[in-house]
Structure 1
Amino acid sequence: MMEISTDGLPHSSRLDFWSQTVLKRMEIDKRAEDTAAFRAALRRMRGAAGEFWDHVSTAIHVERSEQRCRADSGAEIYVGLVVDGRSEVSLGDRRVRLQPGDVYVTDFARPIRAHWLRHREVGVVFAPGPSPQNVGRLAPAGAVRLLSSHLRTLANEAPRLSREEQGAAVDIAIQFARLALSNGDTRQLEDDAPTVLAAIRQTIARYCADPEFSVETLAVSLGCSRASLYRAFEHEPMSVAAAIWAARLETARALLLAEPEAPIGMVAFRSGFLDQANFNRMFRREFGMAPGEFRQAERMARSDTRRSAETA
C-alpha cells in the first residue's frame, strides 16, 4: 500500500506536485484554485487487474482535453464511489452532478472536466474491455451495490490486511466494477428534461409493481434529487407520483386481461396496491368501471368476436 500527501509541502508547490504525481492524466486549472488552501491525500493499493484509490482533497478543477487524450492515449477506466462531498463532472455538453453514495465511471480515452468540492472518493482503475464504456452515474442496483459496499469495506479494512489480501480485495472490486458495467446499468442523467424524463418513465415501468416504490425510491434508483424529478415533469399532464399510480393501473389492466381467473385482490397486490378498496376506486376513476366489470366486459367482447368469426 502506498500513501501520498501534500502535507509538509510548501503551499506554492502542492498543486504542481499533485498534478505530476497523482492526476497524471488530468490538468489542474490553477486559476480556479486557492493554492494556499489546497490539501490532498491518496492511499493506493495494487492488484493483478488494476489499482484501488482512496482519495481526499479540497476543492479542485481538473480537465482532460481532447489534445491530452490524443497525446497519451490513456487506456484506463475509473469507477469511483463518492464517499463525502459533491462534484460536477462535464462530459462534452452533458453535466452529471454527483453526491455522496453515487458511483460513476470515467473512460480516460474521452475528454472530461470535473469540479470537485472538498470530497473523498474510493474507486478502482483498470484496463477497459473490448468495447467503449458509457460515461456517467451508475444506477444503484445489483452489482453496483455490491461494488459500493466492497469499496467502503476495503477502504476501512485496508490497514489491517496483508499485501496479498489487499491485492485480492482490489481484484474483487474490479470484478464487481466490470460486472456492473457489463450489466448496462449506466445512467447518463443530464440536465435536460427529456433525457431525465425518459429515464424516469423507464424506471417507473420497471419498478411500479413494488408497493414500496415511491417518488423517494425513484430518485434513489436514478441517482438524482426529487427536485430534478419535479422539474422533468413540470410541463407534463400529470405529476411524478401520479405517473407511478398510472403505471400501476396499466399493469393491473394488463394482468386482468392476461389472467382472467386471477382473484381481483391478487391482481391489485401484484400491481403495487396494498388496499383493494383503493385499487377498485382508482381503477374505476381511470377506466370508467370497476376491475370486475372491466374483466366481464372484456370476456363478453371476446365471446362476441368468436361468435362473429364462427358465423362468418
Structure 2
Amino acid sequence: MSTTPPPCVPEHLSSHDVEPGLRFDAWRERAHQWVEMLPPPPGTELDAELLTLRSSTCIFGTMRSSAYEMRAASRRLAHAPEMVVVTLIQAGELIRDAAPGEPQRVGPGNLGLYDPWRIGNYRWSQGSREVFLALPRDEVRAALGREPGNVPIPLEHCALAPALASQLNHLALLTRQPQKLDGMEYASLLEGTRTLALLMLRNLGRQGSSQEQSDLEDDLNGGRHAAALRFMEREAHRHDLDVAAVARGAGCSRTRLYAAFASRGETVMGALREIRLQRAKALIERSPRLHIGSLSWRCGFADQSAFSKLFRLRFGLLPSEWHHRTWSSPAAEAVARARSQDPC
C-alpha cells in the first residue's frame, strides 16, 4: 500500500534579508550549517540566494551566489544529519581540492557525489549556480554497495545520470516558480527525485569500471577516515581517547586506521588535536568569559599548560590573547553586556 508524502513548500533565503554588516555571519549560519564558509575578501559584498525543499528523508536545494570559498569542517557537522550530497553545477565553476596539490575543476552540467565529512576546500566562481540533493548516508551506502566518497559522476558513464541531471534542473526551475505547484505536488516531485537519485547510485555502484576497482582501497580509506572523524568529533572531550579507541569507534583495525589517515598526509592524533583546538577556538569566540583550565579540560586537554602552548602554535596567540582580540571591539563588548544582562 503506497503512502502519500506530506506536503512541502519552497523555503527562501537571501543574503539581502539582513543588513550588509551582518550579511556574512547570517548567511554562514543559515545557509552553510554543515561547512565552514570563509569570509569574502575585504570590500567584496556577498550576494546569494537559496531555495530548499525538505522532507523527512532528503533535502533539495538550488543556490546562486557571488564568488566565495568554504571548507569541510568536522566541528560544524557534530549535530548535522548523516547525509551525503549529490550536486549538479548549473553555472560558474567549482574548484575542489581532490588531493593535496591537485585541484579539480568542475564546470556546468557536471554531477558529483560529495561527503561533507571528507576534509577539503571548495571555491565557487562569481555568478555560480548549483542544485543539490542531500540523501541519508545509509541509503547512499546501500545503493552504491560501499562507503560513499567525493567522486564525479560522468553523464556518459552512468545510464541514469542524464535523467537525474534533467530532473534536478527541472525541479530547480519549478522551485523558483512556487505559484505553479502546491505542497503535495512538490512533495511528490521531491520523493520522485530521491528515488531516481538512489536508482542512479545503484546503477553507478553496480556497473563499476576498471578505474573504480583500482580506486576501491581509496574509497575504503575514505570511509574509515570519515567514520573516525565523526567518532572523534563526538568523543573529543574524553582524555583517555587514543588510537585504539578511535579504531574501535570507526569499526576498523589500528593498522587500517593509520593507513586511512596516512593516505591523506595526516596522523590520527594530529587530526584529533586539530578537532580539539578548533573546538576550543570556537568556544572562546562564543563566550565573553574565559577560564582556561575549564576550557582545556572541556576540550580534551588534561594539561592546561600544554593546551596553551598547542593553541599558540596552531593559531599564533595564547587562548587569553585570542579571547582578548575577539572580545575587545565595541561590538563584541555590547554583545557581552547583553548576554550578561539576559535573565535566561
Change (3 A) 1:95 1:9: same
From 5, 26, 38, the equivalent of 2:14 is 5
Q: Give 3-state SS (helix, strand or coil) of 1:7's partner.
A: helix
Quote the residue 1:240 is aligned against. Answer: none
Quote the residue 2:88 is aligned against. Answer: 81
Determine if contact 2:159/2:203 at 8 Å carries over to the other structure: no
CA RMSD of aligned residues (A): 2.6
Task: Return the offset for 1:185.
Answer: 6.3
Work out the CA distance in 1 between the residues paired with 2:74 and 2:14. Answer: 29
Q: Counterparts in 2 of 1:255-274, with a 5 A limit?
A: none
Determine if contact 2:34/2:80 at 8 Å carries over to the other structure: no
Work out the CA distance in 1 between the residues paired with 2:194 and 2:104. Answer: 23
In the alignment, is residue 134 of structure 1 matched against residue 149 of structure 2?
yes
Determine if contact 1:82/1:120 at 8 Å carries over to the other structure: yes
Task: Return the offset for 1:58.
Answer: 0.5
Quote the residue 1:183 is aligned against. Answer: 203
Work out the CA distance in 1 between the residues paired with 2:183 and 2:45. Answer: 34
Work out the CA distance in 1 between the residues paired with 2:43 and 2:73. Answer: 22
Change (3 A) 1:115 1:185: farther
Work out the CA distance in 2 between the residues paired with 1:35 and 1:63. Answer: 21
Quote the residue 2:38 is aligned against. Answer: 29
Equivalent residue letter for 2:82:
A
Determine if contact 1:51/1:125 at 8 Å carries over to the other structure: yes
Q: Give 3-state SS (helix, strand or coil) of 1:155's partner.
A: helix
From 41, 50, 63, the equivalent of 1:42 is 50
Determine if contact 1:80/1:103 at 8 Å carries over to the other structure: yes
Determine if contact 1:48/1:171 at 8 Å carries over to the other structure: no
Determine if contact 1:15/1:35 at 8 Å carries over to the other structure: no
From 166, 171, 186, the equivalent of 1:166 is 186
Task: Return the offset for 1:107.
Answer: 1.1
Quote the residue 2:220 is aligned against. Answer: none
In the alignment, is residue 17 of structure 1 matched against residue 17 of structure 2?
no
Change (3 A) 1:106 1:164: same
Work out the CA distance in 2 between the residues paired with 1:101 and 1:151. Answer: 11
From 124, 128, 134, the equivalent of 2:133 is 124
Change (3 A) 1:66 1:48: closer
Return the TM-score normalized by structure 2.
0.50
Quote the residue 1:148 is aligned against. Answer: 165
Equivalent residue letter for 1:156:
L
Segments of 5+ residues of structure 1 without an aligned counterpart are 187-194, 200-312
Q: Give 3-state SS (helix, strand or coil) of 2:132's partner.
A: strand
Change (3 A) 1:37 1:167: same
Q: Rg larger in 1 or in 2?
A: 1
In the alignment, is residue 56 of structure 1 matched against residue 64 of structure 2?
yes
Task: Return the offset for 1:8.
Answer: 4.3
Work out the CA distance in 2 between the residues paired with 1:162 and 1:145. Answer: 27
In the alignment, is residue 104 of structure 1 matched against residue 112 of structure 2?
yes
Task: Return the offset for 1:66.
Answer: 4.4
Work out the CA distance in 1 between the residues paired with 2:194 and 2:42. Answer: 34
Work out the CA distance in 2 between the residues paired with 1:167 and 1:73. Answer: 22
Task: Return the offset for 1:51.
Answer: 1.4
Q: Give 3-state SS (helix, strand or coil) of 1:108's partner.
A: coil
Equivalent residue letter for 1:95:
P
Task: Return the offset for 1:14.
Answer: 1.3
Change (3 A) 1:157 1:68: closer
Quote the residue 2:260 is aligned against. Answer: none
Task: Return the offset for 1:134.
Answer: 2.2
Equivalent residue letter for 1:154:
L
Task: Return the offset for 1:108.
Answer: 1.8
Q: Give CA deviations for 1:129-151 in whole Å, capped at 9, x if unaligned.
A: 24420212101042111110001
Task: Return the offset for 1:95.
Answer: 3.2
Quote the residue 1:303 is aligned against. Answer: none
Determine if contact 1:12/1:36 at 8 Å carries over to the other structure: no
Determine if contact 1:60/1:116 at 8 Å carries over to the other structure: yes
Work out the CA distance in 1 between the residues paired with 2:79 and 2:120. Answer: 14
Determine if contact 1:138/1:185 at 8 Å carries over to the other structure: no
Quote the residue 1:90 is aligned against. Answer: 97
Q: Give CA deviations for 1:7-35 in whole Å, capped at 9, x if unaligned.
A: 242222111111100100111121x5356
Task: Return the offset for 1:156.
Answer: 1.6
Determine if contact 2:59/2:134 at 8 Å carries over to the other structure: yes
Task: Return the offset for 1:157.
Answer: 2.2
Q: Give 3-state SS (helix, strand or coil) of 2:16's partner.
A: coil
Segments of 5+ residues of structure 2 without an aligned counterpart are 1-9, 216-344
